[in-house]
């Protein structure tokens, strides 16, 4: 299997701020890889370097056989990039806009109609192709941006939050489209919707504070969390007092609050390896006269892994 995207020792500094610190990552041809990280982790900076929009301070990015810094124009021809913030022309109709974009991207005139029709069909835009972009909902504007990515038939797609603003039905359609495109296209997918990553991506890279902290399959990442058992707790009482008490239970490594509804506070606890804190929590509830609504061990999800890997320094 060949490598479509190769990032080696990539660093980006802005004055005294280091946005990326010596990151390395390889995305194989035909792979759908999730690219995850909290806000400010460096995701957008990395994507802009990959697409040749900005240059790194040091390190290299190769898109197939091209250096993204030395040959940014050629790199852009091989990539379909959908940024999180989309700039469209509201005064143009969808078909006009895609025709304009096809010309800019160098699509041969005789191929443009077919390419545009294919992209419109893939993104569910055929019925609204003559509507003004300025009158579209945010969800439909997202679809136009994705269609724009597809008209040049790129071998690599870089998608930054492609389902933002979509309703559940549209999210499912977009997920199915990304999965279908992944059969012939390499896709790097940046998103905050972690269930979408689990259903779509073969591997996941997690970035935090400018560094890659994990690269693996979702299943293997969850397996790492087996040494950090999770306990789901619901107690009726004052939420802050409950949380403070749970943090003091021996064996509890982290407490995550999931809010309070009708007086019942919900928490998820990460525990030390080998620790079973359920009996201690039960005794605590009896002692404090809190009504215990739920106390159960759970299987780690990708969200649990993400939170654990991107909050370790805060908890330390």
Burial profile 172-181: b = 16 or more Cβ within 10 angstroms, e = fewer: ebbbebbeeb
Is 182 in the same domain as 45?
yes
In terms of domains, do 121 and 142 share one?
A: yes
For 41, counting Cβ atoms within 10 Å of its Cβ (0-12 exposed, 13-18 middle, 19+ buried), the class is: buried
CATH at residue 85: 3.40.50.300
Q: What is the DSSP letter of 225?
A: G
Is the CB of residue 129 less than 8 Å from the CB of residue 120? yes
DSSP H helical segments within 162-268, as ranges?
A: 168-181, 194-200, 218-224, 239-247
Whether 20 and 103 map to the same domain: the answer is yes
Q: Are residues 109 and 144 in the same domain?
A: yes
| CB count in 10 Å sphere of residue 188 | 25
Backbone angles phi, psi at 224, to 5 degrees: -60, -30
- CATH number where 287 lies: 3.30.70.3190
Domain count, the chain: 2
Domain span at residue 260 reads: 229-299
Per-residue model confidence (pLDDT) at position 203: 94
Provide Rg for the chain, Cα atoms.
Answer: 23
The residue to which tokens 């330390």 are assigned: 316
Q: Would 109 be classed as within a structural domain? A: yes
Note the residue count of the chain: 316
The answer on 207 and 74 residing in a single domain is yes
Spatial distance between the Cα atoms of 280 and 276, rounded to a whole number of angstroms:
8
Query: Could you say which of 162, 196, 217 is where a domain stops?
Result: 217
Same domain, yes or no: 73 and 191: yes
pLDDT values of the chain reduced to their tens digit, one per residue, 316 residues: 689 999 999 999 998 899 999 999 999 999 999 999 888 889 989 999 998 888 999 999 999 989 988 888 888 888 999 988 888 999 999 999 999 999 999 899 999 999 999 999 988 899 999 999 999 988 889 889 999 999 999 999 999 988 877 788 878 888 888 898 888 899 999 987 787 788 899 999 999 999 999 999 987 887 666 556 689 999 999 999 999 999 999 999 889 899 999 999 999 898 876 688 999 999 999 999 999 999 998 766 777 778 777 775 444 4
For the record, the structure tokens of 296 come out as: 């159960």
Q: Is residue 72 part of a domain?
A: yes
Instruction: Please check whether residues 261 and 196 belong to one and the same domain.
Output: no
pLDDT at 80: 92
Tell me if 309 is assigned to some domain.
no
Whether residue 189 is found in the same domain as residue 92 = yes
Asked if 219 and 213 touch (Cβ cutoff 8 Å), the reply is: no
Report residue 189 as tokens: 């997918």
Q: Last residue of a domain, which of 192, 217, 242? A: 217
- Residue ending a domain, among 185, 217, 249, is 217
Q: In terms of domains, do 120 and 264 share one?
A: no
Do residues 239 and 269 both lie within one domain? yes
Contact indicator for 217, 302 with CB cutoff of 8 Å: no
Return all residues near 290 (Cβ < 8 A) that are at least 6 apart. Answer: 235, 236, 237, 242, 284
Alpha helices in the chain (DSSP H): 43-50, 72-78, 94-104, 109-122, 138-150, 168-181, 194-200, 218-224, 239-247, 278-288, 302-315
Residue 209 lies in a domain: yes
Answer whether residue 312 is part of any domain: no
Identify whether residues 247 and 99 lie together within a single domain: no
- Under 8 Å between Cβ of 3 and 31: no
Domain assignment present for 256: yes
- How far is 207 from 213, CA to CA, in rounded Å? 6
* Backbone φ/ψ region at 254: left (φ over 0), alpha (ψ -120 to 50), beta: beta
Does any domain span residue 275?
Answer: yes
- Give the separation between CA 81 and CA 68, rounded to whole angstroms: 14
Does residue 305 fall inside a structural domain? no
User: Quick one: 176 and 273 in the same domain?
Assistant: no
């Amino acid at each position: 299997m060949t490598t479509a995207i190769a990032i080696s020792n990539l660093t980006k500094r802005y004055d005294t701020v280091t946005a990326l610190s010596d990151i390395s990552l390889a995305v194989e041809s035909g792979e759908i890889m999730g690219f995850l990280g909290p806000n400010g982790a460096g995701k957008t900076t990395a994507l802009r370097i990959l697409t040749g929009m900005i240059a790194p301070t040091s390190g290299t990015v190769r898109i197939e056989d091209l250096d993204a810094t030395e040959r940014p124009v050629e790199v852009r021809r091989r990539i379909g990039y959908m940024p999180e913030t989309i700039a469209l022309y509201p005064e143009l109709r969808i078909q006009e806009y895609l025709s304009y974009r096809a010309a800019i991207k160098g699509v041969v005139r005789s191929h443009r109609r077919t390419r545009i029709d294919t992209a419109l069909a893939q993104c569910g835009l055929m019925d609204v192709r003559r509507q003004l972009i300025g009158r579209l909902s945010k969800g439909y504007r997202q679809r136009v941006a994705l269609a724009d990515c597809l008209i040049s038939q790129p071998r690599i797609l870089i998608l930054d939050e492609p389902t933002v603003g979509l309703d559940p039905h549209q999210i499912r359609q977009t997920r199915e489209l990304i999965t279908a495109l992944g059969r012939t296209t390499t896709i790097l997918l940046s998103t905050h919707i972690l269930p979408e990553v689990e259903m779509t991506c073969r591997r996941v890279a997690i970035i935090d504070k400018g560094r890659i902290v994990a690269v693996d399959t979702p299943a293997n990442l969850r397996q790492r969390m087996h040494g950090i058992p999770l306990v789901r707790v619901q107690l009726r009482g004052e939420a802050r007092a409950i949380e403070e008490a749970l943090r003091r239970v021996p064996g509890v490594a982290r407490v995550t609050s999931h809010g309070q509804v009708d007086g019942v506070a919900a928490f998820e606890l990460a525990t030390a390896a080998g620790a079973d804190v359920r009996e201690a929590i039960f005794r605590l509830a009896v002692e404090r006269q809190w009504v215990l609504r739920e106390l159960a061990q759970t299987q780690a999800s990708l969200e649990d892994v993400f939170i654990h890997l991107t909050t370790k320094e805060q908890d330390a």
